[in-house]
Amino acid sequence: MRKSLQKTPPSGLSSRLAHLSAGLLAAGAVRRAPRRNGANGSTAHVAVAARRDGNLAARLRLLEGFLGRAEVSDIAQHALQWLAETAGVTQSICLVRPVGEQVMAAVASQGLPLDSASTFSVSLDDWNNPLIAGLNRRHTFYPTAHSAADHRRRPSTPFDDAPFHAVPLGLTTDGGQPTFGLLLFGGQVRRAPDLEWFTTVFAQKIDQILRQRAVTEGDRKQGRERSLLYGIINAVSDPILLTDTEGRLLIANSRALALFTASEEESEGRRSAVRMNNMLLSSALSSKAIEETGATRRELLLVNPADGSDLLFELLSTVTDDPRHGTGVVSILRNVTDLRRATEEIEENYRKLRTAEVLARAESDRLNLIIDSVADPIVVTDSSGETSLMNDPAMRLFTIPRRASALEERWVQANDAHFSSFIAGMLVSADQRRVGEIGLTDPKTGEAMPVEAIAGKILSEHGELTAVVTILHDRREAIEKATLYEQLKQASDELERKIQAATADIAQQNELLRRQAIELEQASALKSQFLANMSHEFRTPLNAMLGYTSMLLQGVAGPIGTAAKRQLNRIESNGRHLLTIINEILDISRIEAGRMPLQSSTFRIPDLVGEVRAELEPIILRSKLTVTTDLPRDLRAITTDRQKVKQILLNLLSNALKFTHEGKVTISARARPKERVVTLSVADTGIGVAPEDQERIFEDFRQLDNSPTRPYGGTGLGLSICRRLAQMMDGRITVQSEIGRGSTFTLAIPTQGRR
């Protein structure tokens, strides 16, 4: 037990509990020491000593339980269990008020219904509750209620009508310590414990835990406030920093750190700029500089560590005194680089403005010359409508020349009247700009001269009307162009109507072609479905016929004669030929329907060629042709659909044997690594194919000789199926042939086909 107590550092209440435990042990040792006089040997003294030792052991168990627990609920539950074991308290509940709250809630209970005990709480603001009214008493006993008045004096608790005791936790004689808990216990108490000692030790332990939580929560709050403070100052775009009296940086936001700090890993130029900035800041914040300026605002020129440019700041400094950390200087640097640049630009603009005024006077003189050189009439009138300036084209319209005829004078006066009416409407209008048409007359020729008048008001800096400038644009040419445009538009509309009619006709024809294409596709699909269905219906009875023929040839039904065997062989040969035709029709149907799967595998070309030669060995022997192979030894394996390559090679080789009467047939293979392609060629010395027929032989049901008496059989589907199978494997089949000299069919497929 002493060893377990020594493991816990004696700090705070734990220290007091450890010392109290040691004192109890010492007291127990003294009581257990045998006395020298004869009276100590009596039975009464032995019983008293035993009870005292038991009491000390019980208290030590309570204290040891406190030292090994850190949660309020665990400590309270241990204390209630100790009361049940030591004092026979069968029913008890402990209420604790968390720091900063006004409600005491249940944290542990013993012997009470869990549903009522776990939800039991008492509000400190409820002064009508007898439990709150009795918090100033160290111990309150509530007996069993026998009347309605007794029920009113009793609080509502999980004990219902049973008697119970209420002991406040944290109550002192002088009332200096607030009550933070309440202990309620009832039942038949077997042996009354030292209640004051228990509640004191229990309250001290609960108070210690609550204070530790308060300190922890304060540390967390301080950390949150510190994080919030750094978040606020880092959100400010201006550098903010706190320095000590020697210029050392204590607190700084991210913008200040970018100006005054640099790590060893950064470039020498950046570190030099940071050292320069620290030296300039220390000089600006020195006590001598503050005393000499006598102001808290001054300019500070720093270097941008990022690019080395100059940055002008307005330094706002305030000296602060802290009793714990001493004197410091809070500084805010406001970037006024752009403001200084703007000020300099304003001054420069003012100098340019004065220069512009001089230039404007010169430009005014040149403007008069420009106005005179403009071909359109320009008239400047004042605020009363009187003409103040006009160029030569305008003078020709509105001034009477010397020696003018009476007719010319009337035309000029009419022009002046029309123009004056337009200007009068402009002056009474609130619009800054006006566009209208004026009907004038050319005084020289008397020709009508429609003009477009564009007038604009010129206002002073105070918004007063100073002049009206009017430009007269001759519209005779524009009217003529408009007439031509209208004629062209009519012709264009007529052409557009014809094009629309032609387009509608083309669209109708396209729709007809589209419908015909759909009908052709449907017909092709029905044809493929019909062929598949009929081929299946033919193959089922044909397989039965071939099976029975094979059984007859094997003698299952008994011996047969030579003539009958010859006829059965002919039946079997023709049946298998018919089955081959049906299978080809089925292959065409499956390919057209897109239901022909690819089964990729890796294989060697020589092995495939050997299998094909072995299957056609009887035909080769009957043909008496020389069949040779030309296969390189270093030919690598390929990955593609082996069965389809075999089917193509079988078809090409059987065609070569069928259409070659004498000579030889050669099977060769070549690899083209750059193109990742391997080629298989079947060359013969047969009848050959004419150039104009070399594409037709790959069409469905197409043969070079379609007459009823053609010497060669077949359906004309073999090469068509071969080309389609090759295209499925991303390959192709080509032919080179010459009439009477033979043909060479070549299959080119990728070495790594699709999966």
Q: Examine residue 707 and state whether it is found in any structural domain, yes or no.
A: yes
- Domains contained in the chain, number: 5
Confidence band, pLDDT 50/70/90 cuts, at residue 542: confident
Please state, in angstroms and as integers, the Cα–Cα distance from residue 142 to each residue in 162, 172, 434, following that order: 9, 22, 103
pLDDT at 35: 45
pLDDT digits (tens, 9 = 90+) for 182-222: 888 886 554 455 677 888 888 888 888 888 887 888 788 88
Helix (H) or strand (E) holding 734: strand 732-738
Which of the listed ranges 137-151, 266-280, 696-710 does the model predict with the highest average pLDDT?
266-280
Kindly state the tokens that stand for 76: 């309270």
Three-class SS of 639-696: EEEHHHHHHHHHHHHHHHHHCCCCCEEEEEEEEEHHHCEEEEEEEECCCCCCHHHCCH
Which three-class secondary structure state does DSSP give residue 56?
A: helix
pLDDT at 528: 66
Q: What angle do CA 51, 57, 58 make, to 5 degrees?
A: 90
CA torsion sign, 606 to 610 to 616 to 619?
positive
Q: How far apart are CA 499 and CA 696, in angstroms?
A: 41
Q: Are residue 711 and residue 565 in the same domain, yes or no?
A: no
pLDDT at 653: 92
Whether the predicted model's global pTM rises above the 0.75 cut: no
pLDDT at 26: 44
With residues binned 3-state (H G I as helix, E B as strand, rest as coil), the percentages for the chain, rounded to 5, are 50, 20, 25
> How does strand 240-244 pair with strand 326-335?
antiparallel
pLDDT digits (tens, 9 = 90+) for 324-380: 767 788 888 888 888 888 888 888 888 888 888 888 777 777 777 777 777 788 888
Instruction: Kindly provide the b/e burial profile for residues 555-583, where b requires at least 16 CB atoms within 10 angstroms of the residue's own CB.
Output: eeeeeeeeeeeeebeebbeebeeebebbe
Q: Mean pLDDT over all residues of the chain?
A: 80
Q: Are residue 735 and residue 602 in the same domain, yes or no?
A: yes
Q: Examine residue 407 and state whether it is found in any structural domain, yes or no.
A: yes
pLDDT digits (tens, 9 = 90+) for 406-443: 888 888 888 888 888 888 888 888 888 888 888 888 88
Please state, in angstroms and as integers, the Cα–Cα distance from residue 299 to each residue in 281, 332, 333, 334, 644, following that order: 11, 12, 9, 9, 89
Q: How far apart are CA 481 and CA 475, in angstroms?
A: 10
Q: Examine residue 364 and state whether it is found in any structural domain, yes or no.
A: no
**Residue 705: partners with Cβ closer than 8 Å, 6 or more residues away:** 711, 712
Kindly state the tokens that stand for 373: 């050189």
Q: The CATH number of the domain where 251 resides is what?
A: 3.30.450.20
Residue matched to tokens 């042990």: 25
- Lowest-confidence region among 59-73, 353-367, 733-747: 353-367
Pick from 624, 663, 648: nearest CA to 719 = 648
Are 319 and 327 in contact, with CB atoms under 8 Å apart?
A: yes
> How does strand 91-96 pair with strand 103-110?
antiparallel
Helix (H) or strand (E) holding 519: helix 476-553
Instruction: Kindly provide the b/e burial profile for residues 219-243, where b requires at least 16 CB atoms within 10 angstroms of the residue's own CB.
Output: eeeeeeeeeeeeeebeeeeebbbbb
Residue matched to tokens 């009187």: 386
Tell me the DSSP string of 572-601: HHHHHHHHHHHHHHHHHHHHHHT-----EE
Q: The CATH number of the domain where 722 resides is what?
A: 3.30.565.10
Within 411-525, strands assigned E span 433-441, 448-459, 465-474
Pick from 594, 360, 374, 377: nearest CA to 471 = 377
Confidence band, pLDDT 50/70/90 cuts, at residue 17: very low
Q: Are residue 501 and residue 468 in the same domain, yes or no?
A: no
Q: The CATH number of the domain where 539 resides is what?
A: 1.10.287.130
Q: What angle do CA 419, 420, 425 make, to 5 degrees?
A: 100
pLDDT at 6: 35
Q: Are residue 619 and residue 727 in the same domain, yes or no?
A: yes
pLDDT at 24: 45
**Interval 565-569 mean pLDDT:** 80
Kindly state the tokens that stand for 528: 């493929």
Q: Are residue 630 and residue 738 in the same domain, yes or no?
A: yes
Q: Examine residue 32 and state whether it is found in any structural domain, yes or no.
A: yes
Q: How far apart are CA 167 and CA 182, in angstroms?
A: 6
Q: Are residue 150 and residue 284 in the same domain, yes or no?
A: no
Q: What are phi and psi of 220, to 5 degrees?
A: -65, -45
**Interval 148-169 mean pLDDT:** 81
Final residue of a domain: which of 335, 365, 399?
335
* Percentage of residues in the chain having pLDDT higher than 70: 82
pLDDT at 629: 93
- Lowest-confidence region among 1-5, 276-280, 448-452, 512-516: 1-5
pLDDT at 374: 75
Are 198 and 165 in contact, with CB atoms under 8 Å apart?
A: no
Q: What are phi and psi of 681, to 5 degrees?
A: -120, 140
Q: Examine residue 229 and state whether it is found in any structural domain, yes or no.
A: no
Q: Examine residue 357 and state whether it is found in any structural domain, yes or no.
A: no
Final residue of a domain: which of 335, 360, 388?
335
Q: How far apart are CA 259 and CA 236, in angstroms?
A: 15
**Interval 563-585 mean pLDDT:** 75
pLDDT at 665: 94
- Lowest-confidence region among 47-56, 657-666, 708-717: 708-717
Q: What are phi and psi of 535, to 5 degrees?
A: -60, -40
Q: Are residue 503 and residue 584 in the same domain, yes or no?
A: yes
Q: Are residue 677 and residue 631 in the same domain, yes or no?
A: yes
Q: Are residue 548 and residue 603 in the same domain, yes or no?
A: no
Q: Are residue 409 and residue 543 in the same domain, yes or no?
A: no
Largest CA distance in the chain: 172
Within 344-399, strands assigned E span 378-381, 387-390
Please state, in angstroms and as integers, the Cα–Cα distance from residue 456 to each residue in 194, 381, 384, 444, 739, following that order: 109, 11, 15, 29, 93
Kindly state the tokens that stand for 488: 């062209």
Are 200 and 139 in contact, with CB atoms under 8 Å apart?
A: no
- Determine how many CB atoms are found less than 10 A away from the CB of residue 641: 21
Instruction: Look up the domain containing 589 and give its range.
Output: 476-596
Would you call 196 exposed, middle or buried from its count of C-beta atoms within 10 A (0-12, 13-18, 19+)?
exposed
Please state, in angstroms and as integers, the Cα–Cα distance from residue 105 to each residue in 122, 124, 185, following that order: 7, 11, 15
Q: How far apart are CA 228 and CA 636, in angstroms?
A: 72
How long is the chain? Answer: 755
Confidence band, pLDDT 50/70/90 cuts, at residue 567: confident
pLDDT at 595: 65
Please state, in angstroms and as integers, the Cα–Cα distance from residue 606 to each residue in 232, 496, 613, 635, 649, following that order: 80, 69, 11, 8, 12
Q: Are residue 251 and residue 160 in the same domain, yes or no?
A: no
Final residue of a domain: which of 541, 575, 596?
596
Q: Are residue 467 and residue 508 in the same domain, yes or no?
A: no
Q: The CATH number of the domain where 209 resides is what?
A: 3.30.450.40
